[in-house]
Chain A
Amino acid sequence: MTHFTKLLSASVLALTAGMASAQTDITVAIQLEPPNLDPTGGAAQAIDSVLYSNVFEGLTRFMADGSVVPGLAASWDISEDGLTYTFTLQSGVMFHDGTTMDAEDVKFSLDRARAEDSTNAQKGLFADIADVTVIDPATIAVTLAQPNGSFLFNMAWGDAVIVAPESIETIASNPIGTGAFTFTDWVQGDRLELTRNDAYWGDAPALESATFRFISDPTAAFAAVMAEDVDAFVGFPAPENLPQFEADPRFQVLVGNTEGETILSMNNQMPPFDNVLVRQAVSLAIDRQAIIDGAMFGYGTPIGTHFAPHNPDYVDLIENSSHNPDRARELLAEAGFADGFTTTLKLPPPSYARRGGEIIAAQLREVGITAEISNLEWAQWLEDVFKAKDFGMSIVSHTEPMDIGIYANPDYYFQYDNIVFQAVMEKLNTTTDPDMRSELMAAAQTLISEDYVNGYLFQLAVPTVAKAGLNGLWLDQPTAAVDLTGVSWSE
């Protein structure tokens, strides 16, 4: 009996001890597994999701609200002509392998990213850099070929993080950065583990270790969260299950914005979509709200142009393409397609595309357009639609921040070629005056909206399901990232 009491009190003690100190590890699930671990070499968003801010840092960085703040650069001076940025680096920054981070590493990283043979997925970010000069180990000057109003913004991207020449060889499998967490292990197909970096230069994170898991199947995702196998799921794939989590006191649901403009893209060089009347008819035939309700179960903000509605420069142009099937039929008749036409609708795997595609096909049928659906895997979609441009219409979410510039590239897969728009973008790139920039961005948004380049559907929402008591996760996704540096458990 005494023995039993002792055991009981011991276990009670152990229990209360466990309750007193908060949990210091976390298991986070995301949908897709990164193909490699080099954010400066691969295009996959999943690389940034796992490593951005956690393992790798850039000169500047995005905060949860999308603002750009100093990162490895403690401060900077911009010359009068807007051409030279002189960065003063944080002192005492070490890479995870023990080497110091100094101006030479910054020069190496920027030169590597903008080199001819660079495999950086966003080379455009570095296109304006003319020269990078090391002034002393803590100071570096970047000279631009022309003023670029978004240079500091560009340097915050995951593709612009600072890497070291000592560890660059094996970066794809063993990433060495300066961040608050060090990479420990990657079991491909299963999980990736991070451990707190005790030599971190900034504020130490509350978490001691973190595990990323990769679950793309919506049913498995639901089961994993329900069974509490994961502490948080960032980008939960099945919006229809969110109300259940909301009703469950064990969980909290955060529905934030992404930079993902979800569009019905049209092949602007292929008849009949080379005719603006046809594109307008398609845009008017679509009922956005029905798509948001039907495909996303109500999660998503309608958009009228290719711009994020939470951006202060967003112009509400939804009226240009509000649902009007009668007018759509008139426009089709005007364009010479009174009896409608048949085209293809090629859909990538995400549910917004597959479900949205069925809804759009039904809505287009109402005005006489037959859209033949074919469901493609991502690799096939990239090959057929994105590279070969063999498609009539497609649905995809463009998740890069501030990516309206893709409309200035006539080779981009939807092949919009408008000299006026290209001139506006060119002017925007060389303008630093904020008011002038706002005006130009508004002009650009209006141009593509009134040209009905694509059908603008909605801003993709990112639902995060987390256990109650977990604080500090990002609500919005200004860039693809699961930043764990500010995450903690409440006691």
Chain B
Amino acid sequence: MSRNIALGGLLTALFTALALVSFLYTPHDIQTLDIPNKLQTPSGTNWLGTDHFGRDILSMIMMGARTSIAVAVLAVGIGICVGVPLGLLAAARRGSLLDEIIMRGNDLVFAFPSLVIAILITAIFGPSAINAIIAIGIFNIPVFARLSRGAALPIWERDFILAARVSGKSSFRISYEHILPNITNLMIVQGTIQFSLGILAEAALSYIGLGAQPPTASWGRMLADAQTLTSIAPHVALIPGLAIVLMVLGLNLLGDGLRDLLDPRIRRARA
């Protein structure tokens, strides 16, 4: 359990650190191309080699980490900020028509494959990082709405909620003051998992050209650019591929570890 958290946390911290450092420093400038110096293998000056435009791959990975994390954080943020209130509202009005409308609406969004929604949105509004965030954010909404409603329902049956109702608190206040704190752990765990899915979705969208547009660096587009170069310069494709794998692995391990630690259902089962 703790090993999961340690390894996952380490990988996540590593990429987060790379992304943060890129605001202050990258080994090379990725905005200027150095074409005579293209497709170099890793060396002292370019630790991870250079790509087909002679850009430093390490610097690209750092800038790409920034894009990936920013897109995923904002997308999960949209999911939480819209999905959790919807779920709490549905739970507070459980059994009502409003509950039905909210949850069936969520089912509708959930029924679409997430990548199809993303392609649809970027096809209508044009490819950009912002549209990728919105697209990934939208398919995060039902995840959080369902989870928070499901987690809130049993809490509504507990005695302390009854006490709060007797004392005259409105259902909105109860949701905010008593239900929300009790489901926060669950949201953190789910957030971590959704975060890793967000990273994957961003990479996938960029890979098919619908994510962040050049010159913004993106791991998915690095992979797409390197696709035809795999036989002459495999490191150009391997490195962004590994970055995606390690980042997603790290977040999944972290999510698993956190769930073991925080999820009340599992904690109770163990006790």
A residues adjacent to B (C-beta < 8 A): 218-219, 222, 238, 240-241, 243-244, 290, 293-294, 355, 357-359, 361-363, 365-366, 372-375
Contacts and interface: CB of A to CB of B under 8 A. Distances in A.
Among all A-B residue pairs, the 10 with the closest Cβ atoms: A294-B35, A238-B228, A218-B228, A362-B33, A290-B35, A358-B214, A293-B35, A375-B209, A373-B214, A373-B213
A355 B54 CA distance: 13
Contact of B215 (A218, A219, A358): A358
Contact of A294 (B31, B33, B214, B227): B33
A374 B212 CA distance: 10
Interface residue tally on B, bucketed by range: 20 to 34
A357 B215 CA distance: 10
A355 B213 contact: no
Interface of B: 31-33, 35-36, 38, 52-54, 126-127, 209, 213-215, 227-229, 231-232
Contacts of A363: 33
Contacts, number: 59
A293 B36 contact: yes
B187 to A, nearest CB: 36
Contacts of A294: 33, 35, 38, 52-54
Contacts of A293: 35-36, 38
B128 to A, nearest CB: 8
B231 A241 contact: yes
A238 B127 CA distance: 24
Contacts of A238: 228
A361 B232 contact: no
B53 A359 contact: yes
B28 to A, nearest CB: 13
B232 A244 contact: yes
A186 B126 CA distance: 35
Given A294-B53, A374-B126, A365 B31 contact: yes
Contact of A240 (B36, B52, B127, B213): B52
A375 B228 contact: no
Nearest to A363: B33
Contacts of A355: 52-53
Nearest to A223: B231
Which of B54, B213, B228, B229 lies at the interface centre, i.e. has the most chain A CB atoms within 10 A of its CB?
A: B228
A464 B25 CA distance: 44
B231 A222 contact: yes
B232 A240 contact: yes
B218 to A, nearest CB: 12
A238 B32 CA distance: 24
Pick from B35, B38, B54 the residue with the most CB of A within 10 Å. B35
Nearest to A222: B228
A358 B31 CA distance: 10
Contacts of A362: 31-33, 53, 215
9 contacts: A222-B231, A293-B36, A294-B38, A294-B53, A357-B214, A358-B33, A361-B214, A372-B213, A374-B213
A290 B228 contact: no
B57 to A, nearest CB: 15
Contacts of B232: 240-241, 243-244
Contacts of A218: 227-228
Contacts of B52: 240, 294, 355
Given A358-B33, A358-B215, 13 more contacts: A218-B228, A222-B231, A238-B228, A240-B228, A241-B232, A244-B231, A294-B54, A358-B53, A358-B214, A361-B215, A365-B31, A374-B126, A375-B213
Contacts of A365: 31, 215
B125 to A, nearest CB: 11
A70 B227 CA distance: 45
A30 B231 CA distance: 22
A290 B126 CA distance: 29
A136 to B, nearest CB: 57
A71 to B, nearest CB: 38
A219 B32 contact: no
A380 B229 CA distance: 28
A314 B227 CA distance: 37
A374 B232 CA distance: 28
Contacts of A358: 33, 53, 214-215
A362 B31 CA distance: 6
B96 to A, nearest CB: 45
A294 B227 CA distance: 15
Contacts of B231: 222, 241, 244
Contact of B33 (A219, A359, A374, A375): A359
Nearest to B209: A375
Nearest to B33: A362
Contacts of B228: 218-219, 222, 238, 240-241
Given A294-B52, A359-B53, A365-B31, A375 B127 contact: yes
Contacts of A375: 127, 209, 213
A75 B14 CA distance: 77
A363 B54 CA distance: 14
A355 B229 CA distance: 13
A366 B53 contact: no
A251 to B, nearest CB: 14
Contacts of B31: 362, 365
A238 B214 CA distance: 20
